[in-house]
């Protein structure tokens, strides 16, 4: 098990059953890495007066379980765009092995949100495993920026779909120009790429980014358009991965209150009930589901670099 700044008692790692669901000791180790990442995020946010909140399943877990939903394997947080940009501006304050990943700090990751990662671990999404992307793929927690969107649903649908299309095109543009497409632009490039060791692969990728990445018209357009309605509506959503129905009144995401979550305290919005109803309907009802990243390659003992 890797070293972590946050200390965990041995009993935390023991297999247990919660709500009739068995949680393995391996999943407990993944949870511990994510809680340690949360601890780093919380410290930096408090230092710079950055307001943030638990989001999605993490919010539900905080309110209903006072910890992880038993079948969950990730942590999600949200913050308004201004706070998100402030966090990105102090990315260098996260020291090894902690790494705040954005398109600016790790070209080619193209999430359009941030992920705080532990570089000494592995958390590779299944659909990206065969690509051998050289960007950081340590275990992570998600940090989503909240942006204003139109109140009218039809306008919002048009706006959000356009941005999601730009995000997809930006990914295709990178893959095509960097040899990660299904049919690589350069014959044999992908096979050769997999034979290169990680340090050389990373340097080569960064050189390719200088040629193609800075000219990516789709990512540039996404960045320009995503704040089109900034401060002009009372409705916000996470555009990066949210659906058009996951829209909230900005007044509901305010006044953070710290509540217990496993062995830490984390902030939730004052009007969490309204948010959880939008996400889950009757959120009090237990519905056992699959883990969000159940198709993810996890390893708490080895760096993702061993798999590239």
pLDDT tens-digit profile of 83-120?
999 999 999 999 999 999 999 999 889 999 999 999 99
Q: What angle do CA 243, 143, 149 make, to 5 degrees?
A: 40
Compute the distance between CA of residue 54 and CA of residue 67 in angstroms, rounded to an integer: 11
Quick one: tokens of 195?
């034979």
Pick from 150-159, 172-181, 232-241: least confident = 172-181
In this structure, are residues 44 and 244 in contact, taking their beta carbons and an 8 Å threshold?
Answer: no
Q: Indicate the range of 128-137, 193-202, 274-283 predicted with least confidence.
A: 193-202
Q: Which helix (H) or strand (E) holds 259?
A: strand 257-261
CA–CA gap between residue 116 and residue 98 (Å, rounded): 7
User: pLDDT by residue (tens digit) across 22-69?
Assistant: 999 999 999 999 999 999 999 999 999 999 999 999 999 999 999 999
pLDDT value, residue 212: 46
Q: Tell me the sheet residues that pair with 78.
A: 53, 144
Task: Identify the band that residue 175 occupies on the pLDDT scale cut at 50, 70 and 90.
Answer: confident
Q: Residue 207: pLDDT band by 50, 70, 90 thresholds? A: low
**Mean pLDDT in residue range 8-14:** 96
**What global pTM score does this model have?**
0.89
3-state secondary structure 111-124: CCCEEEEECCCEEE
Q: Are strands 53-54 and 21-23 parallel, antiparallel or unpaired?
A: unpaired
Q: Rounded mean pLDDT of the chain?
A: 90
- pLDDT bucket at 213, cuts 50 / 70 / 90: very low
């Amino acid at each position: 098990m890797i070293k972590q700044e946050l200390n965990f008692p041995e009993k935390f790692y023991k297999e247990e059953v919660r709500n009739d669901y068995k949680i393995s000791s391996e999943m407990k180790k993944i949870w511990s890495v994510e809680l340690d990442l949360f601890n780093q995020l919380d410290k930096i946010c408090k230092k710079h007066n950055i307001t943030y909140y638990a989001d999605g399943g993490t919010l539900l877990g905080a309110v209903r379980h006072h910890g992880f939903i038993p079948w969950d394997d990730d942590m999600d947080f949200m913050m308004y765009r201004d706070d998100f940009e402030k966090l990105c501006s102090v990315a260098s304050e996260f020291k090894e092995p902690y790494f705040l990943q954005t398109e600016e700090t790790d070209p080619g990751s193209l999430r359009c949100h941030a992920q705080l990662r532990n570089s000494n671990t592995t958390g590779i999404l299944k659909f990206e495993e065969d690509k051998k992307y050289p960007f950081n793929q340590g275990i992570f927690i998600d940090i989503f920026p909240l942006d204003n969107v139109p109140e009218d649903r039809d306008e919002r649908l048009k706006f959000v779909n356009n941005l999601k299309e730009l995000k997809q095109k930006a990914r295709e543009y990178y893959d095509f120009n960097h040899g990660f497409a299904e049919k690589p632009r350069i014959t044999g490039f992908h096979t050769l790429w997999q034979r290169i060791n990680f340090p050389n692969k990373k340097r080569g990728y960064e050189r390719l980014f200088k040629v193609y990445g800075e000219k990516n018209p789709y990512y540039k357009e996404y960045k320009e358009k995503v704040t089109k309605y900034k401060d002009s509506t009372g409705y916000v959503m996470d555009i990066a991965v949210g659906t058009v129905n996951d829209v909230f009144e900005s007044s509901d995401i305010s006044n953070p209150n710290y509540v217990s979550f496993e062995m830490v305290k984390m902030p939730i919005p004052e009007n969490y009930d309204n948010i959880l109803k939008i996400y889950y309907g009757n959120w009090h009802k237990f519905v056992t589901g699959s883990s969000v990243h159940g198709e993810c390659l996890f390893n708490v003992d080895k760096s993702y670099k061993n798999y590239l």
